[in-house]
């Protein structure tokens, strides 16, 4: 692109910018006076097109950003759901293991109570209280302790 020289002229009391050499549309100085209205109209059209493209680019960028955020949020939500389902499955398996362990411990306690009863010691469990009595009439009642006592 060649150099553009701007001359400042005073014509009829007004300051006007004049381009020296070819103008932006490839026309020489001849016919410039006639094409000023067309050039101004073309510049107005180009300004409007530029404004529309800029606004469209901004709106498109915002929509793309919002869509990306929604997609990212959906992916994170899917990962969290998968992790929670995995944890829930693990918790259900632990619950089943605990139920089986609880049943086994109940059977052990029942077996111990039956064995002690055969030796003349009666053990009864009522809630969190344990009563132990023997054939001689001696009895002891105690509360089940939450923590293991050494």
What pLDDT shows up at residue 107?
Answer: 95
Quick: pLDDT tens for 62-74: 888 888 888 888 8
pLDDT band at 147 (very low <50, low <70, confident <90, very high): confident
Question: Distance (Å, rounded) from C-alpha 112 to C-alpha 34?
Answer: 116
pLDDT band at 41 (very low <50, low <70, confident <90, very high): confident
Helices (H), ranges, the chain? 32-118
Question: Distance (Å, rounded) from C-alpha 81 to C-alpha 71?
Answer: 15
What pLDDT shows up at residue 10?
Answer: 38
Domain ranges of the chain: 5-109, 110-143
Question: Distance (Å, rounded) from C-alpha 24 to C-alpha 20?
Answer: 11
């Amino acid at each position: 692109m060649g150099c553009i020289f701007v001359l400042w002229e005073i014509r009829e009391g007004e300051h006007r910018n004049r381009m020296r050499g070819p103008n932006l549309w490839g026309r020489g100085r001849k016919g410039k006076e006639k094409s000023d209205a067309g050039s101004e109209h073309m510049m107005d059209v180009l300004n409007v097109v530029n404004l529309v493209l800029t606004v469209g680019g901004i709106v498109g960028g915002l929509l793309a950003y919002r869509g990306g955020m929604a997609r990212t949020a959906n992916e994170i939500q899917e990962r969290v759901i998968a992790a929670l389902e995995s944890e829930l499955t693990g918790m259900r398996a632990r619950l089943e293991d605990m139920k089986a362990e609880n049943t086994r411990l109940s059977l052990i306690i029942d077996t111990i109570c039956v064995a002690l009863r055969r030796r003349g010691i009666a053990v009864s469990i009522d809630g969190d209280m344990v009563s132990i009595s023997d054939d001689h009439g001696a009895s002891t009642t105690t509360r089940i302790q939450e923590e293991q006592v050494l």
